[in-house]
Amino acid sequence: MRRAVVNKKYGVSALFWVLLLGLGFIQTVAATLPLTVSGESIPSLAPILDKSMPAVVNISTLQNIRVNDNPLMQDPFFRRFFQAPRQRQRQQNSSLGSGVIIDSRLGLILTNNHVIDKADEILVTLSDKRQFKAKLIGKDPEADVAVIQIPADNLVELPVADSSRLRVGDFVIAIGNPFGLGQTVTSGIVSALGRTGLGIEGYEDFIQTDASINPGNSGGALINLKGELIGINTAILAPNGGNVGIGFAIPSNMAMTLKNSLVQYGEVRRGLLGISTQDLTPDLVKAFELAENYGAVISRVQAGSSAERAGLEAGDIIRSVNNLKIKNSPQIRNIIGLLQIGDQVDITILRNGRLQNIKAIVGKPVSLAIKGQSIHKTLTGVVLSVVQKDRVPGILVNQVDSGSYAWNAGLRPGDIILSVNRYRVQTLPDLKKVAVSSNRLLLNIQRGRDAFFIVLH
């Protein structure tokens, strides 16, 4: 154990002044703390939580999974020999999460998509122990947001704050249902803002906080000291499987914008501007002879796109979008991703040393679909496409017939084919070139947050 040592050169006099200064510091800190909060003799978050916690709900889901009763019955020969139909039994998977009531009149609850994804039944438990089956209103896997609805009266909703006014160091409180324990509260500060490029979601603009967020907190509320919603708790960085004080929440402004689209359409109808951008590195700043290092450079403009019609060119430096100063390339993708088809975008660019203002219209995404059997016999009953989005491209599985060979092998709608026979494929011609001369297809699949291989032969 380390001990404090007083230098003998200064003797007892120095020790006296150290103690005196220490007592003065303690008195100064104590004087800055409130003596009472709502009549309580000590500072407490309880008055805020009394109003906020009833607006945070626990969510449990059930998913019915069909499994074969007998593995031998998977073989068509045995089924035909024994003249037995394919027998199946149901197995249930369950999961836990949280949600936030954001409209007490309509019973609307905001949560994460991964909390309710693939659920056959969604059960909501309120803080007063009432339980209701919820209806799915809409979901957006790209941003991990979903809206559900319950037929309940006397609900408490959380007021929503403007998350753009958050500052690093602001105090925050996380409310959720970690590990199925029931409502739990943790506190901390805003550690960082605008976190992107984490690979957690397709669209990222996270609030980072050191308030403890654990499994089951997903979809819960991150609130300020006024009891206002500033974020939806979504993920943690956990290298060793535990909480290390790095949690992420979707900002309330982003979540509410997505909520409006989900309530109106049941989905988020994202459009396309038609540009690819990249961050400004020191080398690019020097090459473009830039005086200020902020923004993102356009590396490609798609032919026939809204960006081309508006006059954007490769090499343009985007300084701002809709009056928001651009710090990096992912920020542009997030801004465009929150807009609807037909919305106008005001873009300030730097071209040849001069600032220009350009107006563009968000267009419809271009989609090209093709039947799988035209590429390979094992893909019969599969419809494939490439949806042009500003992300790492792959081959999208649009449709899989439930009785097809590909379905039985494990291919599902929504899967992204990243590679075939260990060759990276980004376009349908890429896929056809690799597959046409092969008897067997080794597909590297991305499904949500998971990636795995499927063999078709």
Of the candidates 268, 293, 319, which is a domain's last residue?
268
Report yes or no on 91 lying in a domain: yes
Is 0.85 topped by the overall pTM?
no
Of the ranges 229-233, 271-275, 324-328, which is most confident? 229-233
Residue 431 lies in a domain: yes
55 and 127, same domain (yes or no): yes
Same domain as 295, residue 182: no
Same domain as 243, residue 354: no
226 is written with which tokens? 């006024």
In a shared domain, residues 262 and 350: no
Q: Which residue, 219, 248, 268, sits at the end of a domain?
A: 268
Read off the pLDDT of each residue in 363-386 and give the average, rounded to a whole number: 83
Q: Are residues 72 and 214 in the same domain?
A: yes
**Does residue 274 register a pLDDT over 50?**
yes
3-state secondary structure the chain: CCCCCCCCCCHHHHHHHHHHHHHHHHHHHHHHCCCCECCECCCCCHHHHHHHHHHEEEEEEEEEEEEECCHHHHCHHHHHHCCCCCCEEEEEEEEEEEEEEEECCCCEEEECHHHHCCCCEEEEECCCCCEEECEEEEEECCCCEEEEECCCCCCCCCCECCHHHCCCCCEEEEEECHHHCCCEEEEEEEEEEEECCCCCCCCCCEEEECCCCCCCCCCCEEECCCCCEEEEEEEECCCCCCCCCCEEEEEHHHHHHHHHHHHHHCCCCECECCEEEEECCHHHHHHCCCCCCCCEEEEEECCCCHHHHHCCCCCCEEEEECCEECCCHHHHHHHHHCCECCCEEEEEEEECCEEEEEEEECECCCEEEEEHHHCCHHHCCEEEEEECCCCCCCEEEEEECCCCHHHHHCCCCCCEEEEECCEECCCHHHHHHHHCCCCCEEEEEEECCEEEEEEEC
- 305's tokens: 């796109």
Q: What is the mean pLDDT of residues 142-157?
A: 92
| Residue 105, both tokens | 């009149």
In order of 191, 353, 408, 428, the CA distances from 370 in angstroms are: 47, 45, 21, 8
pLDDT at position 100 is 96
> Residues 199, 298: one domain?
no
Percent of the chain with pLDDT over 90: 37
Residue finishing a domain among 230, 248, 268:
268
Q: Do residues 393 and 414 both lie within one domain?
A: yes
Q: How many domains does the chain have?
A: 3
Asked whether residue 161 falls in the same domain as residue 147, the answer is yes
Domain holding 289: CATH number? 2.30.42.10
In a domain, 14, yes or no: no
Asked whether the beta carbons of 212 and 90 are under 8 A apart, the reply is no
Identify the pLDDT of residue 190. Answer: 94
The answer to whether residue 342 sits within a structural domain is: yes
| Residue, of 181 and 281, whose pLDDT is higher | 281
Residue type, 322: N
Does residue 117 carry a pLDDT above 80?
A: yes
Catalytically annotated residues? 114, 144, 218
> What was the pLDDT predicted at 242?
60
pLDDT of res. 361: 92
CATH for 222: 2.40.10.120
Q: What is the mean pLDDT of the chain?
A: 81
- In this structure, of 41-55, 57-71, 276-290, the range with the lowest mean pLDDT score is 57-71
pLDDT reported for residue 317 = 94
State residue 273's pLDDT score: 87
pLDDT band for position 106 (cuts 50, 70, 90): very high
Residue 159 and residue 184 in one domain: yes
Whether 441 is covered by a domain: the verdict is: yes
- Who wins on pLDDT, 394 or 375? 375
Tokens linked to 398: 């649009």
Mean pLDDT of 142-165: 93
Q: 323 and 303 in one domain? A: yes
Same domain, 230 and 322: no
Per-residue pLDDT, averaged over 396-417, amounts to 88
User: What pLDDT shows up at residue 425?
Assistant: 87
Do 126 and 85 belong to one domain?
yes
47 within domain boundaries: yes
**247 pLDDT above the threshold of 70:** yes
Is the pLDDT reported for residue 184 higher than 90? no
Q: Give the Cα separation of 439 and 418 in Å (integer).
A: 19
Range of the domain at 167: 43-268
CA gap 326, 296 in Å, rounded: 7
The pair of structure tokens assigned to 408 is 């039985």
Q: Identify the residue with better confidence: 353 or 222.
A: 222
| Position 299 in a domain | yes
User: How far is residue 356's CA from residue 380's CA, in Å, rounded to a whole number?
Assistant: 51
pLDDT > 70? residue 40? no
Residue 226: is its pLDDT beyond 90?
yes
What pLDDT, on the 0 to 100 scale, is given for residue 66? Answer: 55
pLDDT at 153 over 80: yes
- Residue 213 domain-assigned? yes
Position 389 confidence tier, pLDDT thresholds 50, 70, 90: very low
